Amino acid sequence: MNEPLEITPETFHGWQLDPIIDELLASEPTSREGKSARTLAKTPALTVVLTVLRQGQQLHEHRAPAPALVVPLRGEVVFEHDNESATVGVDGRQVLAMGQGQTHRVEARTDSAFLLVLGPRQ
């Protein structure tokens, strides 16, 4: 399923994430650009995006479009904000919260995957 799931009061749905991560890491966009993402679910109040980055891939400085929670699934990714950094990786089981508008950079230390859970834009 490549279309985002519309979450309704009746929704009860699960995903096997490893096959999706493997598919995204092997995809042509990831081979070409070193990154790819798929929106798994979207509502006015919640967006869930599965993001993959190849080792060494960087996301240049940008702003968080909404309140965000980063949940690591595979590998290790470093998020930098001003003079602070947070390593988010499955080994450390660390999750990162970020406020809307936070300027940050991202770099994958290994081939990585994480869920980006976005709240409503304010």
**pLDDT confidence of residue 86:** 84
54 to 7, 58, 75, 101, 105: CA distances (angstroms):
30, 9, 10, 25, 15
**pLDDT confidence of residue 1:** 58
Share above pLDDT 70 across residues of the chain, in percent, rounded to a whole number:
98
**pLDDT confidence of residue 122:** 83
| Class of residue 54 by CB neighbours under 10 A (exposed 0-12, middle 13-18, buried 19+) | middle
- Hey, what CATH topology would domain 34-118 get? Jelly Rolls (2.60.120)
**pLDDT confidence of residue 80:** 92
Share above pLDDT 90 across residues of the chain, in percent, rounded to a whole number:
84
Compute the average pLDDT of residues 45-58: 96
pLDDT: which is higher, 91 or 72: 72
Q: What is the pLDDT of residues 83-108, one digit of tens each?
A: 888 888 877 678 999 999 999 999 99
Sorted by where each begins, the domain ranges of the chain are 34-118
**The pair of three-digit structure tokens given for residue 120, joined into one six-digit string:** 């409503």
**pLDDT confidence of residue 109:** 95
